């Protein structure tokens, strides 16, 4: 019965995205087309603690729905207790992100990214390196898991590639476009408070410069979708550190520089989405900025050091913000919270919300 129901999920000829009018669809790799059965398998795997070496950690341990798929920690902690140098990024609208993680110039597929937390050892996350066969056998010998795999990948064996393809398919469904701001832009002029409306104007102003790095439908300047001829990719030095007066960041968190070795890449990180930003504290790649108020202080100061190093983004120049204006900007940032996304049963733990 379980297999029959799951196989029925594969009957649709095409995948239908749940998107607002005018929003282009995400780019999906030809080798991993979307299907309901694959997404459902991915949801189960996303919450499955058997994907970790001690059986106590799942993808959802570091990507919790109520926190917009972050974990509330300044830095991640792996299954062995190892503290990571960076925090868990939000998965809000991750299907539209052309370069994944905080600062990787080449990591452009969710299918590839999923391999790092599962099997990476620097740092250790889920700790499954050298346990690939054990993981596959565990899932293959579980009748319910086997049935979900058969529905998602008919006539194929359970495998690591299928595991990461299913997780990636599920992650592509984590779409957030129903915040008060979205309802306002769709014509509900009462969706934003007067304070949030004023904050929107400030956010989009040349005076604050926020929109340059946090613009567009995802509130990030890195974007990919099926209408773009080429992905838009950007990384920025925001003046969070300046150890030497030349913009140096503390190792190992030197941004793109850690991978490219190029001096000009020092401190350059991807601008994360601001959607649901009010629930994803603490902020910045290392969680060193605790509140949204502190974030505004950082940018108003023109960077933490306020030095304006030669590597610092041209958009981080500093500004003066009165108390009332600060409240308005914060009201707007809170209006980017999509409560339906944080509680959508389609994204929840299937053991809790079938």
DSSP line for 82-111: PBPSSPPPP-TTGGG-SS-SSS-SS---HH
Whether residue 193 lies inside any domain: the answer is no
Whether residue 211 lies inside any domain: the answer is no
Whether residue 284 lies inside any domain: the answer is no
pTM (2 decimals)? Answer: 0.95
Whether residue 37 lies inside any domain: the answer is yes
> Whole domain around residue 143: which residue ranges?
2-176
| Closest to 151 measured CA to CA, from 4, 315, 323 | 4
Helix, strand or coil, per DSSP, at residue 241 = coil
Q: Give the number of domains in the chain.
A: 1
Cβ–Cβ < 8 Å for 85, 284: no
Whether residue 231 lies inside any domain: the answer is no
pLDDT for res 2: 44
What's the length of the chain? 354
CATH number of the domain enclosing 80: 1.10.760.10
CA distances from 155 to 13, 145, 239, 287, 347 (A): 18, 14, 53, 45, 27
Whether residue 215 lies inside any domain: the answer is no
pLDDT for res 5: 42
pLDDT digits (tens, 9 = 90+) for 282-328: 999 999 999 999 999 999 999 986 667 899 999 999 999 999 999 99
Q: Torsion angle of alpha carbons 254, 218, 222, 236, nearest 10°?
A: -40
If you average pLDDT over residues 257-270, what whole number do you get?
97
Q: Torsion angle of alpha carbons 336, 339, 342, 345, nearest 10°?
A: -140
pLDDT digits (tens, 9 = 90+) for 112-166: 999 999 999 999 999 999 999 999 999 999 999 999 999 999 999 999 999 999 9
Summary mean pLDDT of the chain:
95
Whether residue 198 lies inside any domain: the answer is no
Whether residue 197 lies inside any domain: the answer is no
If you average pLDDT over residues 44-52, what whole number do you get?
98
């Amino acid at each position: 019965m379980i297999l029959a129901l799951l196989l029925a999920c594969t009957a649709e000829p095409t995948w239908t995205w749940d998107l607002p009018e005018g929003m282009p669809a995400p780019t999906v790799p030809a080798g991993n087309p979307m299907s309901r059965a694959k997404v459902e398998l991915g949801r189960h795997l996303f919450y499955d603690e058997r994907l970790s070496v001690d059986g106590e950690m799942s993808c959802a341990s570091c990507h919790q729905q109520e926190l917009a798929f972050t974990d509330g920690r300044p830095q991640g902690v792996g299954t062995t207790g190892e503290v990571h140098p960076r925090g868990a990024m939000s998965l809000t609208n991750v299907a539209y992100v052309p370069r994944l993680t905080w600062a990787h110039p080449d990591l452009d597929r969710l299918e590839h990214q999923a391999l790092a937390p599962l099997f990476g050892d620097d740092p250790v996350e889920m700790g499954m390196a050298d346990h690939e066969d054990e993981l596959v056998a565990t899932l293959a010998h579980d009748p319910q898991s086997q049935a979900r795999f058969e529905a998602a990948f008919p006539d194929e064996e359970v495998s690591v590639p299928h595991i990461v393809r299913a997780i990636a398919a599920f992650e592509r469904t984590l779409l957030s476009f129903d915040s008060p701001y979205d309802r306002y832009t769709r014509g509900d002029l009462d969706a934003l408070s007067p304070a949030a409306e004023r904050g929107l104007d400030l956010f989009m102003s040349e005076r604050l410069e926020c929109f340059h790095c946090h613009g567009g439908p995802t509130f990030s300047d890195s974007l990919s979708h099926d209408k773009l001829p080429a992905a838009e990719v950007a990384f920025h030095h925001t003046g969070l550190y300046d150890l030497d007066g030349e913009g140096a960041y503390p190792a190992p968190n030197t941004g793109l520089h850690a991978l490219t070795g190029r001096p000009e890449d020092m401190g350059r990180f991807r601008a994360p989405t601001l959607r649901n930003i009010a629930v994803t504290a603490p902020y910045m790649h290392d969680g060193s900025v605790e509140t949204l108020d502190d974030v505004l202080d950082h940018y108003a100061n023109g960077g933490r050091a306020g030095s304006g190093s030669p590597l610092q983004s041209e958009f981080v120049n500093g500004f003066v913000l009165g108390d009332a204006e600060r409240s308005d900007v914060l009201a707007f940032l809170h209006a980017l919270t999509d409560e339906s996304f944080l509680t959508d049963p389609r994204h929840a733990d299937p053991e809790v919300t079938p």
